[in-house]
Structure 1
């Protein structure tokens, strides 16, 4: 094994996705390490969401491999696994925070049940224990205990997003994918949510891949950043380095906010 891969949690090698002849992302490679937060940024249509969906097995890449270090320490090729194995990974060791929380929640069951379902997926069966854990996690994401039996459709957008985060993190995943996690929220709600996410990621030692068009989100949450344009990664490096001293003209435009994203 290449020495630089030895401590990786995720290895992405040569991933490309075509929609017919149109490229979604082209020949993307990187490693992600335990506890590291990577932001993928770029304007709409840059390929960042396509890449995220390929990495997280929501979309089959046209070429390339994605390998994940399983809990036994061995790497598993995500696209050589069975569908059942990938689903189990998504329910237990991974989380996925959608831009629209309704896509990541069951809107017609209670907040407590949304969190409890993930616990049941990893073998919890004791109702009292599940409810107690759900209560603790709701408190952790700043949702009061007296809302545990309310359905998400009775919640504000910010509360729904916080509930979705609790649902994803309750099983102690090692890797979380976030697709525009603050999109569509008011600025004050965004700030509160970002503070919450940053605290949880640090406290839990999570690795995360965050797709965002908002460079302020990338700066606040990520250690490392990849800038995409037309399906290609055109610049990457430590977040502060890239944002404070961008080398590529496109990145300079993003940072100076001349380019509308």
Structure 2
């Protein structure tokens, strides 16, 4: 039983700063992520959005500030106060992380079924038949044929690998999923199919998601709220439709104006 309530954030970031020597990765960032909400972090290359994502997902140490996560028992803890074992357990159970390059999020030389099954074993599943049955079900949910369950990801296309990575992350029904440019590098038709799939799965599972993207069309399709970053700072934030339909900052206006007409 989780302690998720819609009036309490699942993740709170306060005055987060990450520096690399004299260079600022991101500075003085504060945000909340609510249960069941998709928050998009957008900006051009070098804006600091991936640095921010890596800091709030505990993949990169922050220089200062707080990242507070509400655990399943309702207790809110700073990620820096968790032991390495506790952080690893969160990453295998409560959290998912979808990489832009699916090879970074998959074991490429084990079968598709084993990639999904590993995550189930991390939450205590031990019955081989049940693990295989669940893996087969999830491959179907991400539109991978069941007869590919014993194939390795090296034999899959880029779009199939990305869908497999999504299945591997979502099979344990995490409470919070981080996504780093999940449609980057895919053909436009493959992107559209993947986005439809992601939108449906996020809605079905009621996930909280933080997604980094440079593609404003992706942000509009998937997110309810967004923050716009430039040079390591948040320059605009709000409801996605409001930010994209009525951008206030000159930089956001430039980003919106650069979207090709459909």
TM-score interval for Structure 1 and Structure 2 normalised by the shorter chain = over 0.9
Which residues of 2 match residues 47-196 of structure 1 at below 5 A? 47-196=48-197
- Following superposition, the deviation at residue 76 of structure 1 comes to 1.4
- Cα separation, 2, equivalents of 1:221 and 1:132: 29
DSSP 3-state at the match of 2:151: coil
- Following superposition, the deviation at residue 69 of structure 1 comes to 0.6
Instruction: Determine the structure 2 residue equivalent to 1:207.
Output: 208
DSSP 3-state at the match of 1:50: helix
Q: For the structure 1 residues 6 and 75, does the alpha-carbon distance in structure 2 shift closer, same or farther, using more than 3 Å as the test?
A: farther
DSSP 3-state at the match of 1:79: helix
- Cα separation, 2, equivalents of 1:76 and 1:7: 14
DSSP 3-state at the match of 1:66: strand
* Unmatched runs of 5 consecutive residues or more in structure 1: none
1:36 aligns with 2:37: yes
- Following superposition, the deviation at residue 6 of structure 1 comes to 5.7
- Cα separation, 2, equivalents of 1:172 and 1:183: 24
Instruction: Determine the structure 2 residue equivalent to 1:22.
Output: 23
Instruction: Determine the structure 2 residue equivalent to 1:249.
Output: 250
- Cα separation, 1, equivalents of 2:126 and 2:217: 41
Name the TM-score, length of structure 2 as normaliser. Answer: 0.96
- Cα separation, 1, equivalents of 2:152 and 2:218: 29
- Cα offsets for 1:113-151 (capped at 9, x unmatched): 000000000000110000000000000000000000000
Superposition RMSD in Å:
1.2
- Cα offsets for 1:94-128 (capped at 9, x unmatched): 00000000000000000000000000000001100
Name the TM-score, length of structure 1 as normaliser. Answer: 0.96
- Cα separation, 2, equivalents of 1:31 and 1:216: 22
DSSP 3-state at the match of 2:200: helix
- Cα offsets for 1:62-91 (capped at 9, x unmatched): 000101110001101111110110010000
- Following superposition, the deviation at residue 248 of structure 1 comes to 0.1
* Unmatched runs of 5 consecutive residues or more in structure 2: 1-5
- Cα separation, 2, equivalents of 1:159 and 1:111: 10
- Cα separation, 2, equivalents of 1:245 and 1:120: 47
DSSP 3-state at the match of 1:192: helix
- Cα separation, 2, equivalents of 1:14 and 1:239: 22
